[in-house]
A and B are shown apart, each in its own frame.
Chain A
Amino acid sequence: MVNRKWPETWQEVNPGCMVFEPGSASEYHTGTWRSQKPVWNNEKCIKCGICYIFCPEGCIHEGADGYFSADMDYCKGCGICAHECWPAAISMVEEG
């Protein structure tokens, strides 16, 4: 029974696929799912933090200047932040 985060072969799968490493979900980069990315226009931002609260990935962080940005390793491009931002400071832009 190998205790590894990423079993390669079926023989390496833990019984019940249990994961013994706390917080190992952070190793899974949901950013690879993204086809659109959120782009912030801080001129419209009123620093309410709604985008931070609603992001289902928990990948939006507040910077030292009080504005918000997303960690693109985890942002899956769902657009919820843009939808919830009432001053419309976030727009979803096609990934190039």
Chain B
Amino acid sequence: MSKRIGMEVSIAAAEAVALCRIDVAAVYPITPSTHIAEHLSSIVSDGKLDAEFITVESEHSAMSGIMGASAAGARAFTATGSQGVMYMHEMLPVASAMRLPVVMAIGNRAVSGPLNILNDHGDIMMERDTGWISLFAQNGQEVIDMIIQAFRIAEHKDVMLPVNVNIDGFILTHMVEAMDMPDQDEIDRFLPPFVPYATLHPDRPVSMGTFAGNDIYTEISKSKDAALINAKKTILQIWKEWEKLFGRKYEPIESYRADDAEILLLTMGSMGETAEMAIDALRAKGMSVGLLKFKLWRPFPFDELKKAVKGAKILTVIDRAISYGGPGGPLGIEVRSALYDESSRPAIFNYIIGLGGRDVTPEDFMTILKSSASQAKKKAMKERYVIYGVRES
């Protein structure tokens, strides 16, 4: 039986990792993910979890360390954020190319410069193309659930890919919430021991991470792309199973009061719960608004997106990151591209909000929704994207 707990989300995240009976963790602590590493390290040093906790000298080594452990057959985990993810960058596409099912929790934080330790999605968006499965949690419960699901998804024989779980820095990592913590028996049934596809062992020689020239690199890239796209099937199955076991439903795009809505708001991560309040307030005033929340960023849920926006007149996409000099925020860019070939599609507006930890309130979403509605009436969005709330002289 699950236990109702009240604790900081980072602590709960570490407890969830321990429930997964990891063999190895290699972490270099960095704000705002530090508490995950700290608590996990205590769990190991208190003897409550039989695992190696490697204190590495850098995030590059943290990622390399868990990749090596995974290649040797260990269930391995790390946590980081911002500069830490960027320092790992070189190893991230190698982990996915080698099909190593490691799991990483990211306490999402703005990247330097200027130096900033607060939340936005700039860090993960820079790692978008590294071939990882990427999940976004909107509250503490989803952090616990997604970390456990992540190991099951990653290690599934039809997937074999690394997974990152995105947890908004401070807004989620440092929030004290009421959550259900599954018990060990339940997780042992849900997550059987890791059976690797191949391991590094002298008795059964295997080469991993080999060289590939121009005669085969294209085929390897295609197979990696196909593996990621194909992973969605298994993710959906595992989420169904989770719902049956724990009663909590997971979908690539969760909708809130969106079925008949003319105007849709699309968010990622913890903004989802804030946005619900804006939707309720505007619905109370008779505005036909609804909310979509992106939970599965990679593989990109094309079918679910098309279905979710059907019938809507306006789609307002909220990004917490920016592609400098590009066509907007990463989510806005991809949603526009995904819907471009549809014969009928909503007018798309893209707002960038909450950079470097600036507060995002229900009122902000209400302002944005009203503004997109009035711009749509005039049949044009003034700019491709708007950096919301920026002070101008």
Task: Show the binding face of A for B, using Cβ within 8 Å.
Answer: 6-13, 15-20, 22, 24
Q: Determine if A13 and B207 form an interchain contact, defined as CB atoms under 8 angstroms apart.
A: no
Q: Determine if B227 and A15 form an interchain contact, defined as CB atoms under 8 angstroms apart.
A: yes
With beta carbons under 8 angstroms apart, the residue of A7, A10, A19 that contacts B226 is: A10
Q: Determine if A19 and B223 form an interchain contact, defined as CB atoms under 8 angstroms apart.
A: no
A21 to B205, alpha carbons, bound, how many Å?
7
Interface size class of B (residues with CB under 8 A): 20 to 34
A53 to B96, alpha carbons, bound, how many Å?
36
Q: Determine if A15 and B160 form an interchain contact, defined as CB atoms under 8 angstroms apart.
A: yes
With beta carbons under 8 angstroms apart, the residue of B206, B216, B222 that contacts A18 is: B206
- Inside 8 A of B227's CB, which chain A residues have their CB? 15
Q: Write out, one digit per residue, whether chain B residues 218-257 have a CB within 8 A of any chain A CB (1) or not (0).
A: 1110110011000000000000000000000000000000
A18 to B198, alpha carbons, bound, how many Å?
8
A14 to B291, alpha carbons, bound, how many Å?
41
The smallest C-beta distance from A36 to any residue of chain B, in angstroms, reads 21
- Inside 8 A of A18's CB, which chain B residues have their CB? 197-198, 206-208, 210
Instruction: Tell me, yes or no, whether B373 is within 8 Å of chain A by CB.
Output: no
Instruction: Tell me, yes or no, whether B99 is within 8 Å of chain A by CB.
Output: yes
The smallest C-beta distance from B220 to any residue of chain A, in angstroms, reads 5
A20 to B222, alpha carbons, bound, how many Å?
21
- Inside 8 A of B219's CB, which chain A residues have their CB? 7-10, 12-13
Instruction: Tell me, yes or no, whether B335 is within 8 Å of chain A by CB.
Output: no
Given contacts A10-B218, A19-B207, A20-B205, 9 further A-B contacts (CB under 8 A): A7-B216, A10-B219, A10-B220, A10-B223, A16-B100, A16-B160, A18-B210, A20-B198, A20-B206
Contact sample, A vs B, 13 pairs, CB 8 Å cutoff:
A7-B216, A10-B222, A12-B219, A13-B220, A15-B227, A16-B98, A16-B160, A16-B208, A18-B198, A18-B207, A19-B210, A22-B207, A24-B207
